[in-house]
Amino acid sequence: MSRAAIAELLQDGLSDKAIARQVHVHRRTIAGIRTELGMPAHKPGPTPSNPEDLFWRRTQPTDDGHLLWTSTSRQLRGGDNKLSVHRVAFRIGNQRDPVGNVTTGCGQARCVHPTHVEDQPMRQQYKAIFGEAA
């Protein structure tokens, strides 16, 4: 296959690996052509614009109203920062940054539903109203 055809596949957004498989050329050859064209390395999948977008992509609703976290990582990247999934969920549900630790308040261990997470002041308020059992 010609360099022009490979360049066209690169411009279509295919990865080096996908092109190499398709045209039966080593990936290093594809990477070299990519470099010659001044194209950046291929990054798989769409890049979420913010941690909230990534949060929604890694959750799964349940029939009983919970929202389960499906990723093995409990942190999301927000620019240069790493944010806990529960903190991101709290921000989504409460429109403010949490104070102290954020935990799941519904009893479902993997639940990250934005209305099911609580920060420290919320837990203290529940404790004041309902006592130690809350």
Q: Quick: pLDDT tens for 57-67.
A: 889 999 999 99
| C-beta neighbour count of 112 within 10 angstroms | 26
The answer on pLDDT for 38 being more than 70 is yes
- For residues 5 and 23, the answer to whether their CB atoms sit within 8 Å is yes
Model confidence pLDDT, tens digit, residues 68-86? 998 878 888 766 678 899 9
Query: What's the mean pLDDT in 50-58?
Result: 86
* Structure-block tokens of residue 107: 């009893």
Helix %, strand %, coil % of the chain (to 5): 40, 15, 45
Q: What is the residue whose two structure tokens read 């055809």?
A: 5
pTM, 2 dp: 0.62
pLDDT (mean) for 33-60: 82
- 113 and 64 in contact (C-beta within 8 Å)? no
Query: Within 13 Å, how many C-alpha atoms sit on residue 26's CB side?
Result: 3
pLDDT one-digit tens code per residue, 82-113: 889 999 999 999 999 999 999 999 999 899 99
Contact (CB, 8 A) for 9 and 22? yes
- Determine how many CB atoms are found less than 10 A away from the CB of residue 16: 22
Angle at alpha carbon of residue 91, lines to 81 and 52, rounded to 5°: 60
Helix, strand, or coil here: 24?
A: coil
